[in-house]
Amino acid sequence: MYRSLSVNAQLKKLQRFVPSITKDDIDLTKHVAGVRAQALDDNGNLVDDFVFEFDDNSGRVMHVRNAPSPAATSSLAIAHVIAERAEKEFKL
C-alpha cells in the first residue's frame, strides 16, 4: 500500500531489480502502483486462492476475484468451478 501511494518508495523497490531505473523512467500518467494486487480477507490476511462470488443484486453474475498467477494455467480448473456453481445456483 505504501508503494502505491509513494512514487519514491516504489522507485526504491524497483531499483533493487533494475538499479539504473530513475523516476523519469516511470510513466505516472498510467499507473502509480506496484506489481500486482492481492486480495485480503475481512481480517486483513492475504487470500491465497480464487474467490468466487455471485452478485447479490442480480443473482446471475458470478465474480471471480483474486486470480493470482498462475491464473492462465488454472483456467480450465476455474471454468470447472464456475460451471459447477452456475449449474447449482441457476439449477441448469
The structural domain count of the chain equals: 2
Per-residue pLDDT tens over the stretch 50-83: 788 877 676 677 777 777 666 666 788 888 888 8
Whether 55 and 85 share a structural domain: yes
- Whether 44 has a pLDDT exceeding 60, the answer reads yes
Per-residue pLDDT tens over the stretch 10-27: 889 889 999 999 988 877
- Whether 33 has a pLDDT exceeding 60, the answer reads no
Region for 70 from its dihedrals, namely left if φ exceeds 0, alpha if ψ lies in -120 to 50, beta otherwise:
beta
Type of residue at 45: N
Return d(Cα 29, Cα 74) in angstroms, integer. Answer: 32
Residue 31 lies in a domain: yes
Q: Using CA of residue 31, residue 70, residue 64, residue 46, what is the dihedral sign? A: negative
Is residue 14 a contact partner of residue 31, using CB atoms and an 8 Å limit?
no
Query: Residue 6: pLDDT band by 50, 70, 90 thresholds?
Result: confident
| Structural domain for 69, as ranges | 51-90
**pLDDT at site 7:** 81
